[in-house]
Amino acid sequence: MQKRKLGNTGLEVSAIGLGCMGISQSYGVPMATPDAVKLIRAAFERGVTFFDTAEVYGPYKNEEVVGEALEPIRDQVVIATKFGFDIGANGGSGMDSRPAHIRAALEGSLKRLRTDHVDLYYQHRVDPAVPMEDVAGTVKELIAEGKVKHFGLSEAGVKNIRRAHAVQPVAALQSEYSLWWREPEEAIIPVLKELGIGFVPFSPLGKGFLTGAIDQNTTFIASDFRNTVPRFASDARKANQAMVDAIAAMAAKKHVTSAQIALAWVLAQKPWMVPIPGTTKLHRLEENIAAADVELTAADLAEIENAVSAIAVQGERYAPVHAARIDR
């Protein structure tokens, strides 16, 4: 697979990474550990070198699975994980990015990941109670100690990106970005370009919706968090089908799948963008990886833009309780 560099820090990864969250939570029944390990290793065998997890996924279980899967090939992969939640409080929804907590979280992550360092360590969400300078300064110390290689932020706003970067260069920002969530284009992507920070879009397939496999009649099991997402309400899915149809039309023209068009579109936006689609199925993994070979011409991109710009996407991307944690 092609490689890409995230920002100016020299962090090189596969052009498409693997978002591992869904292996352990949020999208239906968690995978059995042996199956999850097999899937992650299959991704590596097919060229993926960038794996994304977090201590809160599971919680903890996802890091354990990723650690087991990647231990034999640790020196050939880039592992990203995250800190910033007080997992023992409020059902894991409380934030805590105090320096002492960051250090304690890292030690737990290193143990679960079976490694002596994290390649990319993200603040999972901005903690309004802790100055960003303290967060970035703590990670800077961890980098000096060799326990962290690169610093990242997730869902951070422009002001906090600048504040963090002034203390410790930020290698990458991870935030949602796709054909049906393009808000980062307004202010975030320009500042990333200015500062030389890479962008790691999560949910590049719109939590599965852009693949065409979900319609207004689709039902999710009770534990699937999409049940709480306004954009996945039945009436919103019906209205948003126009987006799916537009992507499907281009997919038919290019003789590829809708998922591959959605991923190729992200890859075509900037050379320092690395999407991290997730899956629990080998055939979907292979489909996603093959998107790196899909070439969208300037005419293709203009055609997609003309089609989707006329569509008003319905529904918020998060329920209020989750939206409140997004930095602005």
Say whether pLDDT at 183 is over 90.
Answer: yes
Active-site choice (27, 57, 121, 177):
57
- Distance in Å from the first CA to the final CA of the chain: 35
Q: Is residue 312 part of a domain?
A: no
Q: Is residue 315 part of a domain?
A: no
- Read off the pLDDT band of 306 (50, 70, 90): very high
Q: Is residue 319 part of a domain?
A: no
State pLDDT tens for residues 192-233.
Answer: 999 999 999 999 999 999 999 999 999 999 999 999 999 999
Is the Cβ–Cβ distance between 184 and 157 less than 8 Å?
Answer: no
State pLDDT tens for residues 131-144.
Answer: 999 999 999 999 99
Is the Cβ–Cβ distance between 127 and 135 less than 8 Å?
Answer: yes
Average pLDDT, the chain: 96
Q: What is the CATH number of the domain that holds 86?
A: 3.20.20.100
Q: Is residue 320 part of a domain?
A: no
Alpha carbon distance 241, 303 (integer Å) = 18
- Domain extent at residue 114: 3-206+269-294
Q: Is residue 104 part of a domain?
A: yes
Examine the residue annotation and report whether 57 is marked as an active-site residue of this protein.
yes
Q: Is residue 306 part of a domain?
A: no
Say whether pLDDT at 28 is over 90.
Answer: no
Q: Is residue 224 part of a domain?
A: no
Task: State the total domains in the chain.
Answer: 1
State pLDDT tens for residues 310-319.
Answer: 999 999 998 8
Q: Is residue 282 part of a domain?
A: yes
- Contacts of 211-219 spanning 24+ positions with Cβ under 8 A: 211/257, 211/258, 211/259, 211/262, 212/244, 212/247, 212/248, 212/258, 215/241, 215/244, 216/241
